[in-house]
A and B are shown apart, each in its own frame.
Chain A
Amino acid sequence: MTEDKRNCFVLEGKMALPNQYFAGRLGSRFIIALRDKKKITGIRCKKCNKTFIPPREYCEQCWTNISENWVDLGREGELINYTVIRYGDRHLPRKAPYILGQILLKGADTPLTHIVEGVDPKDVRVGMKLKAVFAEKPTNTILDLDHFEPV
């Protein structure tokens, strides 16, 4: 069918609403430890013998409350996967190109997805040893651990 486009136009607008998100008691402890003590913490399920990061109240595998089992994780870890973001959208925290990686911290069983800096995108490789660099200004998010960089 032929479309009648004579009167058609596009109205530029936006969808904008204010939000306030709560990290919860558990999340707050995790973020405050990052922010104030430069400490990365995980939560351990003793039953499944696994240490998780980011924190969660219940182990998804065995559905037990693990929220009290905090363990300190190392500030160093290994890059196990990555991508180089080369497009620019407003939700991205860095100017492209930047590296988003999965980092397995010492003492953790689940890798953390985070930003990797201090290495040229063409030199980044799986298996690199990385260390945490903490933010100077608090953000009250995971970005209180600002990024990872090569050891």
Chain B
Amino acid sequence: MTEYYGATVVDIFDTMPKRFKPEEAKDVDILIGYEATGEGGGMWTAHIKHGTLTVSKVNELKGCKTTIHAHAETFLGVTLGKITAIDALTSQKLRVVGDIRFLMTLLPKVFVPFTVIPKKKVLKARDILVTMESLFRPERAEGVTMNVGYDLTGPDCCQWSLQIKDGKCKVREGFAEELTVKLTMNASVYTGMMTGTIDGASAFTSGQVKIEGDMMAAVATARYFHKYTDPDAKEAEELICLRVTNSIEQRFASGPVMGKWFAGLREKKFLGNKCPECSRTQIPPREICAICRIRVNEFVELGPKGTVTNYDIVYFASPDPLTGAVRDTPYAPIYIVLDGSSEREAFAFELKKEDISRINVGARVRPVWTENPVGSFKDVLYFELDQ
């Protein structure tokens, strides 16, 4: 199986049941299809139904409500957060057929993110020995002449020697002719000692390492070299991320002008105000006419019906900063010039969901009120087509 970012597509689906959060998926019933193309790809479906999950490897994506398509590499990149989903969607390297809201809301909610624990490459003694020349510290080995032989046993057995002479160090395979000291040990013990997972002193003590020749020279060797560091260790480095929802409660003042507007809503009336200089109406009313820079005191009742001048049909689910909850899509804010308003002064409100497909510029609309308005933006449920 081809790996990307240290994992395979199969890993994603194999771990899905473990990462599933049934309590978050109680009211969900959906069949999601996944197609990963290219090397290491394949097709899978995930069926989430009332808190259960069934993952299947399939040959075609049949009956899926939503399907996700991408090259295996993009697939893993996005799943692991190495590629930003929105960038992949924008460039169409990732395609979603059906309701895109999934990517935004459902999946992060019902699955614990897929992560890879970077696999440590199995480090061989040879990998370390070939770097020893570059780790040599001549300033510490002044006047030292010695040959150290390593007789490494086990599956990765090999023989090496380090020659230190005239402030230089040479590493070569096989034994030098005159060894000052010879160390015999399993190759894995050597790599363990060099990377710090095995304590050298206890390895000597426990007999894992056998020494023939000048014992003091063997002990001194470490002094002449910089500490070895595994180059792969850096890539596996954890970068800390702190996730928090910062929330501060607020007391928003209405002031007298917006207060009057809300008082109007309680009587199912839209109370705008009118500039004493240019006569433009403002809705909702504001303290001042920004154009004339003059205080506005006169209130006028506008609408309730009006004409649509523009509209937005929103498919993108974003959080509502007033509540922190994700909005339900699609929804449609429409711009309405209410009857009695100045021609420039549009008012924005949400259209009834059922009317979204029939909206057009010039359409006549009317507000639908809650039964008992309390003076809030929730008093108007929505505007609907006035037919």
Contacts and interface: CB of A to CB of B under 8 A. Distances in A.
Nearest to A17: B321
Given A12-B250, A18-B319, A3 B256 contact: yes
Nearest to B260: A7
Interface string B235-275: 00111111111111111111110011011000000000000
B197 interface: no
B238 A28 contact: yes
A22 interface: yes
Interface residues of A, number: 30
B290 interface: no
Contacts of A19: 243-246
Nearest to B321: A17
Nearest to B271: A7
Given A32-B240, A140-B240, A11 B252 contact: yes
A30 to B, nearest CB: 9
B246 A16 contact: yes
B324 interface: yes
A62 interface: no
A92 interface: no
A113 interface: no
A22 B259 contact: no
Nearest to A32: B238
Nearest to A23: B240
A140 B251 CA distance: 33
Contacts of A16: 245-248, 321-324
Most chain B CB atoms below 10 A, which of A4, A9, A28? A9
B245 A22 contact: no
B182 to A, nearest CB: 35
Interface string A4-35: 11111111111111111111110111011000
A27 B252 contact: no
A7 B254 contact: yes
Contacts of A6: 256, 259
Most chain B CB atoms below 10 A, which of A3, A13, A16, A21? A16
Nearest to B322: A13
B246 to A, nearest CB: 6
Q: Is the interface of A mostly helix, strand, loop or mixed?
A: mixed
A17 B319 contact: yes
Contacts of A5: 256
A87 to B, nearest CB: 16
A81 interface: no
Contacts of A29: 237
A110 interface: no
A41 to B, nearest CB: 14
Nearest to B244: A19
A68 to B, nearest CB: 13
Interface string B78-116: 000000000000000000000000000000000000000
A132 B142 CA distance: 43
Contacts of A23: 239-242
Contact of B240 (A7, A9, A31): A31
Contacts of B375: 9
A31 B239 CA distance: 10
Contact of B245 (A4, A9, A17, A24): A17
A25 B236 CA distance: 12
A20 B10 CA distance: 29
A141 interface: yes
Contacts of B242: 20-23, 140-141
Most chain B CB atoms below 10 A, which of A7, A12, A32, A140? A7
Contact of B251 (A7, A11, A28): A11
Nearest to B325: A16
Contacts of B253: 8, 10-11
Contacts of B252: 10-13
Contacts of B251: 10-13
B254 A8 contact: yes
Nearest to A27: B240
A11 B241 contact: no
A120 to B, nearest CB: 32
A25 B324 CA distance: 30
Contacts of B247: 14-16
B259 A7 contact: yes
Given A8-B254, A9-B259, A10-B253, 20 more contacts: A5-B256, A9-B375, A10-B254, A11-B253, A11-B254, A15-B248, A16-B248, A16-B321, A16-B324, A17-B245, A18-B319, A20-B241, A20-B243, A22-B239, A22-B241, A23-B241, A24-B239, A28-B238, A32-B240, A140-B240
Interface of B: 237-256, 259-260, 262-263, 319, 321-324, 375-376
Q: Closest 8 CB pairs between A and B?
A: A7-B259, A16-B247, A16-B324, A23-B240, A28-B240, A11-B252, A8-B259, A21-B242
Interface of A: 3-25, 27-29, 31-32, 140-141
5 contacts: A8-B254, A17-B245, A22-B239, A23-B240, A25-B239
